[in-house]
Amino acid sequence: MPLIITDECIACDACREECPMDAIEEGDPVYFIEPDRCTECVGLYDEPACIPVCPVDCILPDKENAETTQELLYKFKQLTEEEE
């Protein structure tokens, strides 16, 4: 499932720098994750790159947008093919 950023976000920019899919955008006042671009780093890493760098632990699974690993991998492949 894609991830979400909660209201505890301090807009430090650490997560956005780590996102290989450019799914994290600057919002007002907190950042947000674009669910159509978030693959939870499936296809690239063993875990989402944004979670460990967040100093306030405000990046969580979005339970309203559950996706399987296979769906996330398919999305990753679709997005990376578009960029080529």
Q: What CATH number corresponds to the domain at position 46? A: 3.30.70.20
Quote the CA–CA distance of 7 and 5 in Å, as a whole number: 7
Task: For residue 33, list its beta bridge partners.
Answer: 24
* pLDDT, position 2: 83
* pLDDT, position 11: 95
Range of the domain at 39: 3-83
pTM: 0.89
Please write the tens of the pLDDT for every residue from 13-71. 999 999 999 999 999 899 999 999 999 999 999 999 999 999 999 999 998 888 999 99
Quote the CA–CA distance of 30 and 13 in Å, as a whole number: 10
* pLDDT, position 1: 67
What is the phi/psi pair of residue 59, to 5°? -105, 120
The total number of structural domains in the chain stands at 1
Whether residue 76 has pLDDT greater than 80: yes
Task: Take residue 44 and report the two structure tokens written for it.
Answer: 């690239």
